[in-house]
Chain A
């Protein structure tokens, strides 16, 4: 009976080919749009936070700046510097700090066999590894506390450094002459995507323990500090505490925003989150709009069908169909039409997503995955729109005056 009715709906639809085609296309396209756009938004967001996190997740890079407020008898415009023990000082003073590392940087000539080239070397603590996502390739490692203690001449190098200096050979365990001093390569960073940087990309850099570095170069000043809070949500408080501690030590105003420039990647993360959520919601709305237009088409078609079947509805009522039976019948039929459009849209999306994943755009949008949450969201949206679209016509069908309907 139901099947028969639905078959009849499609027969009546075939009488109005253009209208039906447009409506089915509307639902089909709306479904495709919602799925693709949501999938796209999600993928782009995931991808961009992945490349952002090449820099490290929720870290603060701190530089010594120049005072902009006169304070404690000092005029403004005084250049500040970090010294060797500042990292240790902050670690003791600021409870909110989870990890901290000083970072010394300089350009030096590097020689391997007969190849010679200048590279940035960075002297850091072992803590640097976790904060800045220094992931060693399998079978290699980052510099460790024993290297620090014994001032070992070891380096951890970027994958591009390895490529440039060692070609296709594995650099781990090999010697590298830095300013003429031999160092052993203990680790190579894995290939990673990195959007944000300071002092150049990690793939082009060389890392060594600060203890070794100082024993050779004896720098007075630390270039910058890198710190991370115990709790990401307390990053703001940690920054304030760091400024306060340094202000006390170097005698500048805590209000001085220029004295201690801090790059907080948490801010970028939050911004990106808001941006990409907004982006996804926008794309979703565009898709939903398309579906709503399709829904209006369905409502329109159902009104025409009810109109054409007025007499039939009257007869059904006369022989005992209750209002809710008629209501249900037309709702089910509306859902049948919507299902025809959206199932094809669904299948088309799956094919399209597969196709897009074959294209070489992974770097920009990442891999598209039709996740269950998106599928379920889409189904719920379509169901709501269909229910709203079908309700009016079905209600009209069920409330027709049987006497008038029979004679129409």
Chain B
């Protein structure tokens, strides 16, 4: 359980909230009480738990990456293998939980937004499993760079709606999903893909992802007999990061480090580093750090990785940053691409481009932690979805 309870308005300090059209307030109230009720229902948590085990493949391994450690100058780097989850990323932890909740609320039409397509695939998978109607909104640009996942969603019976407005990426896919929800709220549940959006989404998605940190804490204690000196995770909306951070929040000696996308470099303005250089503002229903211009217009984000290509970030991260409990940094597209190759060659693991950001940062700084004990990196997903895109970036013909 988290030690950081949201303040009375269900905020994280000043961050979070429910900045949404009036139409959604009733549904958010309903969702909050359904979730609170489910969260305290033993049957619900054991149903989620057994599905994540038997269908999802949990617990995921905590793997001692020795060759990566050698290359980085640190003898004990551990990878939390969320890439080994069914569908290839941590996203399934959340979609199984939310789909079960939707069924509890009697809603059988599901919508979702997706960037990399991992959340879309995980949602489509849960919907296939429970026989729910599934519509996934995805920016046109992402439909192109994540073609494999688009086809996977279709195989799973989902309808993929390409979004051509605005930036044609995750931000506008989210706008479109919210517009659908405003229209269909009486029959539809919106499975949001990260710890973003209006309350109760940030705390609910955190709770579903907190299984990552619970397992990690147990595993590292069992394997090494001590807590890690630092935990690293990439941050798009921030769900895999919050998921792994949550169990360590009260262990003040464990440094928590989130890695955002620096795109072509913070100084170029083409990046997705909302925590590093954004200013607090309101997008998609919550108050949080946000990339925006002087007029309060949201700036387009940029990242080679579709899952990090988002100008906002979950409100709990904004809070952890401001109170100094977590630190946030950013690495460039190029560093992430290099790390993508390094991990493949050193460990036989092709990471998702999102996760490659965390790997890249660890490669840079791990040596500094050499004498402080083990460090853990959340390997949030596997890179199959990115293979074709990376090949293309590196001058090859697209593979799919």
The answer to whether A binds B is no
List residues of chain B with CB under 8 Å of any chain A CB: none
